[in-house]
Amino acid sequence: MSNPVALTPEASPHAAFAVTARPSVVRFLLREPASAVALVVVVLLVLAALFAPWLAPTDPYAGDLANTLKAPGDGFLLGTDGQGRDMVTRLLFGLRMTLMMSLVAVVIGCGLGGLVGFAAAYYPRLSGLLMRLMDVLLSFPAILFGLALTAIVGPGLTAVLVALSIATIPLMARVVRGAAIVVLQQDYIEAARALGMGDARILTKYVLLNCLSPIFVFVTLRFGQVILLGSLLSFIGLGAQPPTAELGAMASDGRNFLFFAPHVSVLPSLLIFVVVLAFNVLGDGLRDALDPRMRR
How many angstroms separate the CA atoms of 231 and 37, rounded?
A: 23
Q: Hey, is 15 helix, strand or coil?
A: helix
Q: Which is nearer to other proteins, 118 or 235 (CB)?
A: 118
Q: Hey, is 258 helix, strand or coil?
A: coil
How many angstroms separate the CA atoms of 231 and 246, rounded?
A: 8
Binding site for other proteins (CB under 8 A): 1-3, 5-9, 20, 22, 186-188, 190-198, 201, 205-206, 209-210, 292
Distance of closest approach, residue 129 Cβ to other proteins, in angstroms: 14
Nearest to 210 by CA among 180, 185, 190, 187: 180
**122 close to 199: Cβ distance less than 8 angstroms:** yes
Distance of closest approach, residue 59 Cβ to other proteins, in angstroms: 49
Distance of closest approach, residue 138 Cβ to other proteins, in angstroms: 19
Q: Which is nearer to other proteins, 191 or 266 (CB)?
A: 191
Q: Hey, is 170 helix, strand or coil?
A: helix
Q: Which is nearer to other proteins, 33 or 196 (CB)?
A: 196
Q: Hey, is 160 helix, strand or coil?
A: helix
How many angstroms separate the CA atoms of 180 and 169, rounded?
A: 16
How far is the CA of 271 from the CAs of 39, 102, 119, 226, in angstroms? Answer: 16, 15, 38, 15
Distance of closest approach, residue 38 Cβ to other proteins, in angstroms: 26
Q: Which is nearer to other proteins, 2 or 139 (CB)?
A: 2
Q: Which is nearer to other proteins, 118 or 206 (CB)?
A: 206
Distance of closest approach, residue 218 Cβ to other proteins, in angstroms: 18
